Amino acid sequence: MRTSLRRFAWHLIPLASLSACASTPAAAPSAPVTATDAVAPAVPAALTFIEDDYARALADARAAHRPLFVDAWAPWCHTCLSMRAFTFRDAKVRAHAGDFTWASIDTEKPENAAWVASHPMHSWPTLYVVDPEGDHIVLEWANSATADELVALLAGARSSMHRPNGVVLPAGAATLEAKLDGLVGEKKLAECAATAERELPSIPLGGGRATTTALRCAMEVPEATREPALGHLIERARTVVANDAEPILADDRSDLYESIVDALDAEKRAPEAKQVATGWAAYLEAEAQRASDPVARIVFDAHRLTAYMKLGEPERAVPMLEQSARDFPRDYNPPARLARAYLTMKRYDEALDAIGRALALVYGPRTLGVYSLKANILEAKGDRAGAAAALNEAVSKGRAMALPSHYAKALDDLEKRAQALSIVAH
């Protein structure tokens, strides 16, 4: 979600920008790939996920008398990809492979629409642990997690099995994260910012994700009442992001960088924003360089593109996105991001070629965003009739999909924009 809270649902329909909680691949493997580090013989090389078949996974869990773990993800969500490329591959997590049945649900696939409707989400990824005997949710964690955090959550979930109404509650910094995420889900953004400013100082370490959420909440508060909370949160965030001991994933640290840049821009502190964006881009390039394979490297594509665009240098993203398109030929995200970069560079024909490749691969609700980006390119090129046609095609496809209810306004907005463009074109 890029105008604000990247992970959260009302910003995860960025039809104009396609920037999203980041991304990756329909082409990334559904189950984490084999890790290359040496492990003890008792630890499996990879977790085995039952993909996009909740009924089968539930039956498997019941037959094995063990809890069911569900990773509800989306191919555009870079945080989802980070979990799959790093946390699920970690030996500490793989050591618990036999304690759970593992399932993954791609929330964009049409065949999963009924499951998604019965499990409303406001954040991607959302992780669940289910007691299979009653199909009862024991843990619902709408966030990322390091390997240590996930192991602790899984242990708590197992201990809560078969208890009436037993639901795992996080501890420490994660408690505040869960509280802020809940306020975001209720759209109580001013309360979110105030709660964070009040409680974050009591968490000396481990509040990185909470700080990101707090900054995004504070930026949504009306400008006249933002201060002093936003200024205080910016300073805290700059301290946290520079602390290498902060126990968060690289993807989450990148989120914090982005939030700082956006907050500084909101405060009209452009030189500082550019300075932080420069450090952010360098950090991401170093992380991508040390990635063990393309599955890990592509995690950083979405943020790298955003950082380069913040710096006014979208051309820096082209080589990495072309490489990702070669590495993941069935993933619509690399060509869609290339289209966005080329649009910014005013290389419209190349943008149209890239968006055409993305449209040939995209599926599910994200289709609307890809068509909207095509309309942006055509409009920038001066083809308003073509832009209107692209939007009308998006609306037609959207109306035929089993979309969650919160997409209704998005479809209406696309239709109104198409009508306006048609009038101008004629």
Distances (CA, A) of 2 to 18, 28, 93, 262, 364: 9, 22, 30, 9, 20
> Considering the entire predicted model, what is its pTM?
0.87
Q: What angle do CA 151, 104, 339 make, to 5 degrees?
A: 110
219 within 8 A of 266, measured Cβ to Cβ: yes
Which architecture characterizes domain 49-159 according to CATH? Answer: 3-Layer(aba) Sandwich (3.40)
107 within 8 A of 73, measured Cβ to Cβ: yes
pLDDT per residue of the chain (426 residues) written in tens, 0 to 9: 322 333 433 233 333 333 335 333 333 333 333 333 433 446 888 899 999 999 999 999 999 999 999 999 999 999 999 999 999 999 999 999 999 999 999 999 999 999 999 998 888 999 999 999 999 999 999 889 999 999 999 998 998 886 655 565 555 567 788 888 888 878 898 899 889 888 888 876 667 888 998 999 998 888 777 767 788 899 999 999 998 888 889 999 999 999 999 999 999 999 999 999 999 999 999 999 999 999 999 999 999 999 999 999 999 999 999 999 999 999 999 999 999 999 999 999 999 999 999 999 999 999 999 999 999 999 999 999 999 999 999 999 999 998 888 888 999 999 999 999 988 766
Residues in contact with 147: Cβ distance below 8 Å, sequence separation at least 6, in sequence order? 86, 87, 90, 92, 93
Alpha-carbon span 99 to 401, nearest angstrom: 37
Q: Tell the CATH superfamily of the 294-426 domain.
A: Tetratricopeptide repeat domain (1.25.40.10)
